A and B are shown apart, each in its own frame.
Chain A
């Protein structure tokens, strides 16, 4: 067995950790004692004795019993003590007291560990005092360390070599034209940068060899522990690379020709995953980005050759991210023009993925993510690069021959989502995203949930950044892209979606519609048509959210045309088309069995129509009102809904001023009829009372009016209020009659007070059919009935209402308005 074996016997009673501590303590104790002796001898200039103690101290490093952590502590303690020896010797050499053949002397140490540590220490002293032997000594030291083949001891020994020589490595260019050696003189061999590179590369190769060999030590069952220990020691190997990077004469050329090839040769040949993963990342971190830019091809080619279990993706991503940062730095030189960074990476990544057949798909996609980041950071104007990455991704998926969609929770799906979100977030402009030809095809690989989530992401991005969609073609594209929000999908799950989520999504689409906006009205019309096609196919549940905003958009467009009427002589025909479009759209809602919604939309349309005032608008408005009535009659059956609906119809109609008498009259009559047909008496009373306003402030246009064949009259006068006082009274009197038929006294009184208020309203408006007697009569009736009511909260409210009314009259009486009618004779 090797002479390096320690003679210590292991203890058996203590836990492994306690045992380690004990061993370490014992060793450190020896170190303390021997180093003290060593220093004492050196103080007395007894060098040989001092070396003997140093040797004893170094013998502690011969142990096989310590874990790497403990060995490291021991090593550090001894290295510290050896500095005393080094300083002593340097002093002696400087003072001229050089010991003869010291270099050979220390090689007489009996055991190899003390021998080599001392040799290194002495060798460095020689170099520091006389540069001319530097080259030979360095070469000798790095070769002699081969004597220790035990992985742990060898690694630390070579680390000692590296640390001791850190300021002694020649860092000058080679002398092209050396002077010939004169006779009798010793050749000066102080070495140059090439020698330093050789030195470090050899040390690195040997250290890597020992480090890799560690995996074969010990029992199979301890493999995990060994791997952990190897990780603890990795910095020892990496320090070689750091040292290389610190040499100033290692410029780009030498890096390309000598340094990197030397490193990569070891990394690839060792075929060890732990070493490869660490060292490749070490290279990236330790050497400057300018060097990496010039050596991308060899580096990436080596990536393809790494052990199958190495996570190559992380290495490449680390490099890409670093270079992207470098490119982005404001104060940096940026990427040189002659380096087609994107092309190089694109190609090499493809090579790597081809070479590694069992790379999981999500890792391949991760690589595409880093490429896309590279494209966006380094070449932000080149959209085609981003598209190229997406194209590659499509090809990847094609090769996979997927039978089904990517499951939402799978790693691949997540990576693909990540990939697609990057251009969205980067451009913050969905129009640019639409220019990426291969963006939409990638959506097709997702399953339903992912498609929906991505669609929501896209729409949210538009809304957050207010990205307007100004062209019909783009509208078409984008609604196609987010079709999972717009229409039912073949792979939609069978069960009903959560109603809250569903309405949130659809509201999102509704809001999105406000972004469909072009400056050119004709283009806007085309946009609306495109949107209509998509949303129209959304199914009954969706259209109630999506078609109304569309209709309102159309109304707005009509107003825009009206504003531009000077510039566009076809504006009236276009408005007509728009309202046809609205009619059709609202009808789609009726087909889907909605009633209140289309009713409101028709009323809104009628109003809008009246205000835009294009050719034939009266016909269209009339049609819209009739449709509203049909809906009312056919579809609205709930009595509460009926009251609300008819009130809305009447109120809308009251505001309209586009009808001539010929059209106004039948509509008026319909309103009154519908009101009187309400089922419940109170509703009837109220409905009929409201109708009274139609006869007063309802407006008609004078003049010929529109023939029913649609021809407009050339002369349209200003709209005029009907102010038919008699008919108003008829309505209100009818209301009173109906109120009298109510069984519930409190309801009755309430209705009386309401009608009273209406009387007052019309009286003040100047309706001559309303006079003070009428008012007095009603007031008296109310005063009679009020006390008979049961007291309750409701009663209080009714009372309050009446008191307020009376108060109003009182005020008017005592300080009458100059223009209002007089309340003379009013009995309050």
Chain B
């Protein structure tokens, strides 16, 4: 055996040749969600902060390839609850509720401090990106509503998106 010329076994399964269009097409896995532009609205007891949730994607499952909506923390909580209830997705954690910051007699602005808002923004961005990239979550109507509808209709009928 050691004397013969070694023959390399190069037999392979036949593969279909890729078309040029496919080869150079943009991969259909582009998903980018940014959470930005926090704005604090109203005064006194009704004061709250919301964030712009901007999505860019070329995934076929999403109706709009670009969208921008404003969501507040409680909207994120609603999404998390919906997903936990209706789907088998293991939902990643949200950034904290920060109860301590909501107590009175603080020296600072509590949950409206710039540092805190930035920390929360980063957490929300990480959260929504993980969720939206999950194939099971991509099928849930609540996620599509969260990302692409101007307002959340909390009396919606939960369910899954049918692919057309």
Contacts and interface: CB of A to CB of B under 8 A. Distances in A.
A136 B10 contact: yes
B27 A123 contact: no
A144 B27 CA distance: 21
Contact of A219 (B6, B23, B24, B32): B32
Contacts of B56: 220
A271 B15 CA distance: 25
Contacts of A270: 24
B87 to A, nearest CB: 21
A219 B6 CA distance: 49
Given A220-B32, A272-B24, A140 B2 contact: no
B9 A126 contact: no
A266 B20 CA distance: 8
Contacts of A126: 6, 8
A258 B7 CA distance: 30
Given A96-B2, A220-B32, A103 B24 contact: no
Contacts of B27: 213, 216
Given A96-B2, A100-B2, A269 B8 contact: no
Contact of A133 (B8, B12, B15, B30): B8
Interface residues of B, number: 21
A216 B5 CA distance: 46
Interface of A: 93, 96-104, 123, 126, 129-130, 132-133, 136-137, 139-140, 143-144, 186, 205, 209, 212-213, 216, 219-220, 265-266, 269-272
16 contacts: A96-B3, A97-B2, A98-B6, A99-B6, A100-B1, A101-B6, A133-B8, A136-B10, A137-B10, A139-B10, A143-B12, A209-B23, A209-B24, A213-B27, A216-B30, A271-B24
Contacts of A144: 12
A123 B30 CA distance: 37
A36 to B, nearest CB: 28
Contacts of A132: 5
Interface of B: 1-10, 12, 15, 20-21, 23-24, 26-27, 30, 32, 56
Nearest to B28: A216
A140 B10 contact: yes
Q: Quick one: which of B1, B2, B30 has the most chain A CB within 10 A?
A: B2
B104 to A, nearest CB: 35
Contacts of B3: 96, 98
A269 B20 contact: yes
A140 B13 CA distance: 11
A100 B24 contact: no
Contact of A212 (B1, B5, B24): B24
A213 B30 CA distance: 12
Contact of A136 (B4, B8, B26): B8
Contacts of A99: 2, 6
B32 A123 contact: no
Contacts of B32: 219-220
Contacts of A97: 2
Nearest to A95: B2
A271 B25 CA distance: 9
Contacts of B8: 103-104, 123, 126, 133, 136-137, 140
Interface centre among B5, B9, B12, B15 (most CB of A within 10 A): B5
A501 B15 CA distance: 77
A777 B26 CA distance: 118
B75 to A, nearest CB: 24
A104 B6 contact: no
Contacts of A209: 23-24
Residue of B6, B23, B32 contacting most chain A CB atoms (<10 Å): B6
Given A126-B8, A209-B24, A216-B26, 14 more contacts: A98-B2, A98-B3, A100-B6, A103-B10, A126-B6, A130-B5, A130-B6, A132-B5, A140-B12, A216-B27, A216-B30, A265-B20, A266-B20, A269-B20
Nearest to B24: A270
Nearest to B9: A104
Contacts of B6: 93, 98-103, 126, 130
A104 to B, nearest CB: 6
A186 B27 CA distance: 44
A272 B24 CA distance: 9
Contacts of A96: 2-3
B56 to A, nearest CB: 6
A625 B154 CA distance: 113
A272 B23 CA distance: 12
Contacts of B9: 101, 103-104
Nearest to A93: B6
B20 to A, nearest CB: 4
A186 B26 CA distance: 45
A146 B1 CA distance: 32
Q: Which 3 A-B pairs have the closest CB atoms?
A: A140-B10, A103-B8, A269-B20
A101 B5 CA distance: 11
Nearest to A119: B8
A266 B24 CA distance: 9
